[in-house]
Amino acid sequence: MNWESHLSDEELLLAADGELSAARAAKAAVHLEHCWSCRARRQELEGAVADFVRTYRDELSEPVAPVAGPKALLRARLAELAAVRRPWWRRGDALPNWRYAAVACLVAGIVAAGYALGTLRVRTAHAPRSGVVLPEPRLTPGAVVRIGREQVCEADLPKNHMVPVALQRRVFEEYGIRDPRTDAYEVDYLITPALGGADDIRNLWPQAYASTVWNAEVKDALEDRMRDLVCRGDLNLAVAQQEIASDWIAAYKKYFHTERPIEPGRFP
């Protein structure tokens, strides 16, 4: 760029945006001092920048809401993320890659039958004043991926990855939970991926956290126990999936031979 030659639109814009190197900026400044037409053009471009900024704001389809609400939501989600590190299938994380290869299939029919027989009693008996102890079978019948015992027992644990926020929100919406507190609920798998559960809204429900007796940690213990039994060959995988989906509390009582959850650290 010679100081005598006129500046292009691009150079004028680069100069106005402070994007020219020091040497080029100095030359441009000298030229602008001398050249009325370049100064007029610069002014036109500045006017167009102002027009654009106004258009850009006008074109937004909705006004930007105050930051406070989204900030509170983020804070709650971060608190949840930063909380106790739990195994990947317990944190509402995504499934291993083999889920892509496998076809998600419903076990709703079997589940509904089991549920009708045994669950309602338990559900009423253990339902907390607030929160969800058992999933609603209509909303969360359970869904599994079509894999066998070997794959379940030999699957490598994949890298962590959140259940998409949008999916979590849909689960909360389905359950009519407005403004969910993430320290109160965990969007949990009904049939754990460790037992072949699918990453599917039909297999996700908002489980109340620590405030209830039959909470997420108790269910985790059951899942561990059942996976051990399945992998040892003492329990059929399909039966395990069915039992956990139809009434996990009943399954807990059955496999731990107890009416109450066993305190952590006291598992036999």
Which positions lie near other proteins, rule CB under 8 A?
8-10, 12-14, 17, 19, 44-45, 47-49, 51-65, 67, 70-71, 73-75, 77-79, 81-82, 160, 162, 164-166, 169
- Which of 60, 84 has the CB closer to other proteins? 60
CB of 29 to other proteins, least distance (A): 18
Q: Which residues contact 148 (CB under 8 A, 6 or more apart)?
A: 237
Q: Which amino acid is at 106?
A: L
3 state DSSP class of 147:
coil
Residue 39 tokens, joined? 């100064």
| Count helices and strands in the chain by DSSP H and E runs | 11, 4
Distance between alpha carbon 177 and the CA centroid of its chain, in Å? 16
CB of 182 to other proteins, least distance (A): 11
Q: Which residues contact 222 (CB under 8 A, 6 or more apart)?
A: 244, 248, 251, 252, 255, 256
- Which of 12, 133 has the CB closer to other proteins? 12
CB of 167 to other proteins, least distance (A): 10
Residue 105 pairs in a beta bridge with: 144
CA separation for the pair 50, 40 (Å, rounded): 15
3 state DSSP class of 183:
coil
**What is the biggest distance separating any 2 CA atoms in the chain, rounded to whole angstroms?**
93
- Which of 161, 254 has the CB closer to other proteins? 161
Q: Which amino acid is at 196?
A: G
CB of 43 to other proteins, least distance (A): 10
CB of 13 to other proteins, least distance (A): 5
CB of 54 to other proteins, least distance (A): 8
Residue 178 tokens, joined? 């407005």
Segment (H or E) for 122: helix 120-126
- Which of 82, 125 has the CB closer to other proteins? 82
Distance between alpha carbon 210 and the CA centroid of its chain, in Å? 20
CB of 58 to other proteins, least distance (A): 6
- Which of 10, 234 has the CB closer to other proteins? 10
- Which of 51, 228 has the CB closer to other proteins? 51
- Which of 159, 232 has the CB closer to other proteins? 159
